Structure 1
Amino acid sequence: MRICAVTCVKNEGPFVLEWVAYHRLIGVTDFLIYSNDCDDGTDALLDALVPAGVVHLPNPAEGRNYQMEALKDAARQDLVTGADWVWVADVDEFPNIHVGDHSFAALIEACGNPQAISLSFQFFANDGVETFEDRPVIGQFCRAHNPDLWCDQSAIEVKTLVRRDFPLQYFGAHRPFARKSRAPESWTDGAGRAVPGPFLSAAKPRRIRKFPAAGARRFATLNHYALRSLDSYLVKTERGDVNREGRVFDESYWQERNDPAWEDRSIQRMLPALEAEIAALRTLPEVARLHDLSVQAHRAKVGMLRARPEIAARAAHLAALPALPPGEAELIAELGLAETPR
């Protein structure tokens, strides 16, 4: 079975090896990775990862809508059209599969081999980690929001694994869109349940095109490390969004994703195998050197940013913000839920 992962990157050099290694462990055979405007060596590192199944292309965007233009191009690439399954995700997102051998194949079997499987986000908090460390992200961050809730909502965004015969009109960043003339035969959540009709038909406006997360994680969830360390978040805000030009990572972005109410270390069962796979990738020609150079560039960028008084003040402000995001306390009270795991 061939599974192709598609993503877009900009200055993600320190995190590429972990993401590729992890996805190889869960069954991804091919990677189609688009890059734009990198100055930390990410592009050179991707070129060196060709023996690991990576195809690296410059982002074809002309209108600066980087992700959607790349996905439009990806749908025509042989690596994607020849795959049995396509997984569109970002390099801070890791499928945490709870069944079988924790692979995509085990998830597909558990869900009954549908045409698409949508995994609910679980945002992992910064939880007071200030300093960037060159070690697996999945081993550094273990606290998240109540995974059934996010801010003032009980419906959470997803990312989707898509089978070859899905009646595709186009790939979206979070889910595929089907041709109007033909509906998908089967589409499940991460518990193998059919997704709700309004989600299936994309009947709602984009901002609320989600479905309830409660009960959706029986077989898998999607660990999303959107913040990482405060150091790396400062670099992220300076870099801008890989998906589209002009997006601002303001304090609401931080606070909405920095709720550490629940502890979840389940993905860390993958750490021994992940560290071994990273070590194996580092033996490929030039990979270790280029990874280390990207780490040096990341640390240099952190030092440059923290030396600016306005950035130092912003970092202190972010670190001092309340952990519970706006609206969540009210929703917890309304639903009669506990704020911490039962």
Structure 2
Amino acid sequence: MKAILRWRRALADHSLRKKPDAVTLVAIARNEGTYLVEWLAHHLAIGFDRIVVYDNESQDDTRALFKALSPRDLRLRRIPWPSPLDNSAQVLAYHHALTGLATPWVMYLDLDEFLVPFGHADMAGLIGSLPEDVSSLHVNWRSFGSSGHTEPGYGLITRAFTRCAPHGWGNHYHFKTLARARDISAVRIHDVCHHRGRRVLSDGRGFANTSDGTSDRVVYEGVQINHYQCKTLPEFQARMRRGDANFPNGHPGRLRDETLARFEVLDRNETEDHAIRAFDAPFEAEYRRLCAILGRDPALSG
């Protein structure tokens, strides 16, 4: 069975290499099983051709989810990824993804980030809009708060949390990167380095280079990243306790601030944003399909 699955994947990968707008989504996750199905369904719905999740020592149902889903959907792959003793599991995973990449394009996101190409029909439309001399598109965050929710059990993240920080909030200067794989020379958490081509924001203009994954302005020209870093206080604190995958186990930098004070700084709800709802129809189709494979009730609420 495993040999047959490898053969099917190899054939699928071979065909993707000929598709100029094909794109792989790469993430690293630890105990994110609660959110995986919605996150996978959304990114399949907007047109990612591959989704590769590096499982960083999860102790929840992440492995079981992929064991059920991957044979039925060749776009989905899980790679076990233990934390090294002296390096960033996240950065190493991101570089490793390049070694087996079957698509010309790659993007790196976290499980609390949902790409929303609201000005395009799908990822192919977004990629097709980029000039040939662009090697990387850097997409700004739009950070969502708790929207009045205080406990888990609210249903879908993308429907429960609709309130976010105003446009110019400082955290929105952060971005994540969509890049031509052939041009990448190094990968960071938010950014990539490349040896040719232009770096642009979604307005098509370049920006000052940074070392911390921030831009010199906040732009949402047809695409944004919905960043659900808060959700509810209990979920925020659980996420902080999972630690920062940018640091090895035992490193002081792995510790994250889980205090109420930190949550309140991030819990911004001044404005409303429903851009993600443009993809309701394809999302619901993918979500129902994945839930059917898993034998779950596709509760489309929030």
Superposition TM-score tier, normalisation by shorter sequence: 0.7 to 0.9
Cα drift, residue 289 of structure 1: 5.8
Aligned match of 1:267: 276
**Among 236, 241, 244, the residue aligned to 1:241:** 244
**Among 198, 210, 213, the residue aligned to 2:217:** 213
Distance 1:59 1:134, change over 3 A: farther
Structure 1: any 5+ residue segments left out of the alignment?
A: 293-342
**Among 14, 18, 35, the residue aligned to 2:34:** 14
Q: How does 1:184-333 map to 2 (within 5 A)?
A: 184-193=196-205, 195-196=206-207, 198-199=208-209, 202=210, 206-207=211-212, 209-214=213-218, 216-244=219-247, 245=249, 246-251=254-259, 253-284=262-293, 287-288=294-295
The structure whose Rg is larger is 1
Q: Spell out, residue by residue over 1:283-322, the C-alpha distance to the aligned partner (whole angstroms, 9 max, x if none).
A: 22xx236999xxxxxxxxxxxxxxxxxxxxxxxxxxxxxx
Cα drift, residue 253 of structure 1: 4.0
What secondary structure sits across from 1:212 in the alignment? Answer: coil
**Among 130, 150, 157, the residue aligned to 1:137:** 157
Q: Spell out, residue by residue over 1:215-270, the C-alpha distance to the aligned partner (whole angstroms, 9 max, x if none).
A: x2112111100111233223223333344342213335423321111111121222
Quick one: distance in 1 between partners of 2:296 and 2:59? Answer: 16
Aligned match of 2:52: 32
Q: CA RMSD in A?
A: 2.4
What secondary structure sits across from 2:91 in the alignment? Answer: helix
> Which stretches of structure 1, 4 residues or more, deviate above 4 A after TM superposition?
289-292
Quick one: distance in 2 between partners of 1:18 and 1:288? Answer: 15
What secondary structure sits across from 1:115 in the alignment? Answer: strand
Identity %: 22
What secondary structure sits across from 1:273 in the alignment? Answer: helix
The answer as to whether partners of 2:233 and 2:263 remain within 8 angstroms in 1 is no
Q: Spell out, residue by residue over 1:22-78, the C-alpha distance to the aligned partner (whole angstroms, 9 max, x if none).
A: 1111111112111122222112212222132212111143126221121122222x2
Aligned match of 1:160: 177
The answer as to whether partners of 1:41 and 1:290 remain within 8 angstroms in 2 is no
Aligned match of 1:107: 126
Aligned match of 2:14: none
Aligned length: 269
Structure 2: any 5+ residue segments left out of the alignment?
A: 1-18
User: TM-score scaled to structure 1, two decimals?
Assistant: 0.72
Distance 1:135 1:242, change over 3 A: farther
What secondary structure sits across from 2:220 in the alignment? Answer: coil
The answer as to whether partners of 1:6 and 1:32 remain within 8 angstroms in 2 is yes
Cα drift, residue 100 of structure 1: 3.0
Higher mean C-alpha deviation, range 168-177 or range 142-151:
142-151
Question: What one-letter code is carried by the residue in structure 2 that aligns with 1:288?
Answer: G
Cα drift, residue 96 of structure 1: 1.5
Distance 1:75 1:118, change over 3 A: same
Cα drift, residue 10 of structure 1: 0.7
Aligned match of 1:307: none
The answer as to whether partners of 2:57 and 2:81 remain within 8 angstroms in 1 is no
Question: What one-letter code is carried by the residue in structure 1 that aligns with 2:88?
Answer: N
Aligned match of 1:59: 81
Question: What one-letter code is carried by the residue in structure 2 that aligns with 1:191?
Answer: D
User: TM-score scaled to structure 2, two decimals?
Assistant: 0.81
**Pairing 1:97–2:104 present:** no
Q: Spell out, residue by residue over 1:58-115, the C-alpha distance to the aligned partner (whole angstroms, 9 max, x if none).
A: 1143126221121122222x2x2x21110111111111112231x1222223333522
**Among 127, 132, 138, the residue aligned to 1:118:** 138
The answer as to whether partners of 1:8 and 1:243 remain within 8 angstroms in 2 is no
Aligned match of 1:337: none
